Amino acid sequence: MKSTFLQGSSRASLVAQHPSRRVSSRTLVLRVSAKRPGENPVKAKSSTKQGLQHAKQDIVQLLKEKPCYPIMVRLAWHDAGTFSTENTPDWPNRGGANGSVRYMEEQAHAANAGLHHALELLRPIAEKYDDVGNADLFQLASAVSIEEAGGPDIKPRFGRRDTYKPECCVPEGRLPDGNAGPDGTFPDGTKRPGDHLRKVFYRMGFSDQDIVALSGAHTLGRARPDRSGNGKEDTKYTKAGTPQVGSGSPGGSSWTVQWLKFDNSYFQDITEQKDPELLVMETDDVLVKDDAFRPYVQKYAADQNAFFSDYAEAAIKLSELGVEWENEPFVLN
């Protein structure tokens, strides 16, 4: 297998492609030197209920051995979040939850840096079952991760059709950024974080409530400067030896103290902003400052059950963006 993840790249070319993004030398090293999980990707498959039930058990076991909840949620979101209601072509060229993130061409998008780790973790499960589709597996892993981390029991529907070739990957630039670039502009040309969020999420058919609810997934995980360009090298909550890191990989900045626990603390923390060790990006801060977003932040900060309910509803909507069903969709028990 070839050793380059992104062929023919240099820091200059990455900067040229993404002038409003910070492209660090560490980002370049990661994206050029990492193994190419998109090479020889798992073939397109169809799912059965029995196959997904078995895969779910394997995912639960994986999470017990390695609590990789955050990156599983990110994988599913980045697979689905490429959908657009604007000038939507036929499937599979319209983006959405079709499994296309498994291809190297999509993994090479700047917003997807580091997702090869999630794909490699799921690869044994994907290769184990001939009756578990990739698109379904990604969404299942996210839903199971949220539940195992203490969040709501999300019941997505399954039976998605897998995209079958890398040419189906959509152009780069459909996913949101946390901060504007050095020139004060987001990749989509907007200059204000609220405008950026609405341009991205409205394109997918979401409301302001959905934007805030889905942002609450930042209660899990960390931002790493070598992936997104955001956050610090580490904080007191992400240093090696801290309880949350355990035997896992240290580093990055978390939005919450207990960043492997799915709860409503994200909304409390971005409201108070008392702890400089916690990450608050421009698109987090605007949720508190924007008149339309703020009521939902206040609601979720005060009522975790309300957050869980609205998050589950928005997450199911996200998981079905752009989907073409093989047959009648079904839900697991």
pLDDT at 88: 72
pLDDT at 85: 85
Question: Which among 285, 275, 320, 255 has a CA at the least distance from the CA of 83?
Answer: 320
Q: Give the active site residue among 78, 109, 116, 218.
A: 78
**Cis, bond preceding 92 (omega within 30 deg of 0):** yes
User: Which residues neighbour 41 within 8 Å (Cβ) at sequence distance 6 or greater?
Assistant: 102, 103, 104, 134
| Residue length of the chain | 333
Secondary structure letter of residue 216 according to DSSP: G
CB < 8 Å & 24+ apart, contacts of 165-168? 166/38, 166/100, 166/103, 166/104, 166/105, 166/106, 168/92, 168/93, 168/98, 168/100
SS3 (DSSP) at 312: helix
Structural domains of the chain in order of their starting residue, each with its CATH number: 40-173+316-331 (1.10.520.10), 193-315 (1.10.420.10)
For residue 223, the cross-strand partners are: 253
CB 173 within 8 A of CB 197: no
Per-residue pLDDT tens digits of the chain, which is 333 residues long: 332 222 223 333 344 444 444 443 333 333 333 345 445 578 999 999 999 999 999 999 999 999 999 999 999 999 999 999 886 788 988 999 999 999 999 999 999 999 999 999 999 999 999 999 999 999 999 999 999 999 999 999 999 999 999 998 999 999 999 999 999 999 999 999 999 999 999 999 999 999 999 999 999 999 999 888 899 999 999 999 998 887 678 999 999 999 999 999 999 999 999 999 999 999 999 999 999 999 999 999 999 999 999 999 999 999 999 999 998 999 998
Burial zone of 288 (CB within 10 Å; 0-12 exposed, 13-18 middle, 19+ buried)? middle
Answering whether pTM is above 0.85, one says yes
Indicate if 78 belongs to the active site: yes
pLDDT at 89: 80
pLDDT at 40: 54
Cα separation, 178 vs 110, in Å, equals: 13
